[in-house]
Amino acid sequence: MRIIPAIDIIEGKCVRLTKGDYDTKKIYNENPLEVAKSFEDAGIEYLHVVDLDGAKASHIVNYKVLESIATKTNLKIDFGGGLKSDEDLKIAFNSGANQITGGSIAVKNPEVFQNWISKFGAERIILGADCNNEKIAISGWQEESTLEVIPFIKDYQAKGIQYVICTDISKDGMLEGPSFELYKRILEENKNIKLIASGGISKFDELPQLKEMGCEGVIIGKAIYENRISLKELENFIING
């Protein structure tokens, strides 16, 4: 299972929100590159970068931060937040993203999202299936749709999607543990999907559980920044599996 720390960007700074609420913003570091390098030094290979300004603006904003991390580390970066056009994707990939995540676009403009899968390749496109009460949330989590998360994933898997990040918004930033039950059902009903668990990770012991369940990756944010999980623990997990 891949360990994927998260860096959320507002105005070029590394921040975290609670349940996606911009009013709860907490700045952890003025320099995201410094944070990324600390992850790489701990033997971590992957990074999840979210352009929160982009999510609000509905187009890529913080691509210079992405470029800085991509050129000054060897981290494999998945990048999301407000990507809406082919031009946004070209900027993201040209700035060093290995994969991009599309959430709102997959709901609001499925034709464009499907075109990305065929144009850029399924291995480079991640479906962002963020949900509240198992209903897909969009527009930086400001809106809730009527779509149920499991059928939503199933529909896109039939269209070629391989990777899915699923965040249970009610858990995000709460440090109360992830949605084990939801992930279990997603994996049971969507065979061979590469599920990346996100939201609520609070302690190290949850990681082996997610691995045992069959998650392909796990995104960890606040638990690292609040020192609930140490980089040393993550390093040992990566080495020892």
**Active site residue ranges:** 8, 130
Question: Which residues, 6+ apart, have CB-to-CB distance to 228 below 8 Å?
Answer: 175, 202, 203, 222
Asked if 49 contacts 78 with a C-beta cutoff of 8 angstroms, the reply is yes
Q: Structure tokens of 239?
A: 């080495």
Contacts of 28 (CB under 8 A, 6+ apart): 14, 15, 16, 35, 225
Name the phi and psi angles at 63, rounded to 5: -70, -20
Q: Where do the DSSP E strands lie in 20-70?
A: 21-29, 46-51
- At residue 173, the 3 state secondary structure works out as coil
Classified as helix, coil or strand, 213 is helix
